[in-house]
Amino acid sequence: MDPRTRGVRPQAAALLALVLSLWGCATVGPGDTPVPSEAPKSTRAGLASEMGLASWYGKRHHGRLTAAGVVFNQNALTAAHRTLPFGTRVRVTNLENGRQVVVQITDRGPYWNRRVIDLSREAAQALGMLTPGVVRVRLETLPEAAALP
């Protein structure tokens, strides 16, 4: 065996193992695949309705710009949604305890397994979901007149 290539095979094997392990971290598995929520449905009042999972975000994003270009405030009643226009008011109902809160869409997301909305910490607290972190919810978009505080 040539002395110049003696350590090449072990080094190549180590490099291959490293690449494959990093690739495994980056790939999306069946549990991580984004799953579309139930399609928005029209309610009797003509409002859009959607059901799925809600999560919340707070301290880590507090003070950063949202996709709408406003500063995120974890103490405001705001949320992130994939498709609703910025400024849309949404009534969120926690289906596990019946609590409701009205939030304004100021960001995009969530991009995680069956989640339909990411709520600010304040909204999550109002819904009683800080501890579980993720709960099943119903979303109802509100007309502009009903959205005024």
Upper half-sphere CA count for residue 77 (Cβ side, 13 Å):
14
Predicted TM-score (pTM) of the model is: 0.67
Residue 97, in any domain of the structure: yes
Residue 45, in any domain of the structure: yes
pLDDT of residue 143 exceeding 60: yes
Position with higher pLDDT, 81 vs 18: 81
- Say if CB 104 and CB 120 are below 8 A apart: no
Mean pLDDT over residues 111-116, rounded? 88
- Fill in the amino acid letter for 15: L
pLDDT of residue 41 exceeding 60: no
Q: What is the pLDDT of residues 52-91, one digit of tens each?
A: 999 999 888 898 899 999 999 999 999 999 999 999 999 9
Residue 23, in any domain of the structure: no
Q: What is the pLDDT of residues 116-127, one digit of tens each?
A: 999 999 999 999
Question: Which domain CATH number covers 101?
Answer: 2.40.40.10
Predicted local distance difference test score (pLDDT) of residue 117:
97
Please tell me the total count of domains within the chain: 1
Position with higher pLDDT, 68 vs 147: 68
Residue 136, in any domain of the structure: yes
Position with higher pLDDT, 26 vs 39: 39
Token pair, residue 79, equals 């949320």
**Rounded to the nearest 5°, which phi and psi values hold at 124?**
-65, -40
**3-class SS letters over the chain:** CCHHHCCHHHHHHHHHHHHHHHHHHHCCCCCCCCCCCCCCEECCCCCEEEEEEEEEECCCCCCCECCCCCECCCCCCEEECCCCCCCCEEEEEECCCCCEEEEEEEECCCCCCCEEEEEEHHHHHHCCCCCCCCEEEEEEECCHHHHCC
Predicted local distance difference test score (pLDDT) of residue 26:
33
Could you count the other beta carbons within 10 Å of the beta carbon of residue 12?
Answer: 10
Residue 58, in any domain of the structure: yes
Position with higher pLDDT, 124 vs 4: 124
Domain residue limits at 81 = 41-147
Residue 118, in any domain of the structure: yes
Residue 115, in any domain of the structure: yes
Residue 52, in any domain of the structure: yes
Mean pLDDT over residues 122-149, rounded? 87
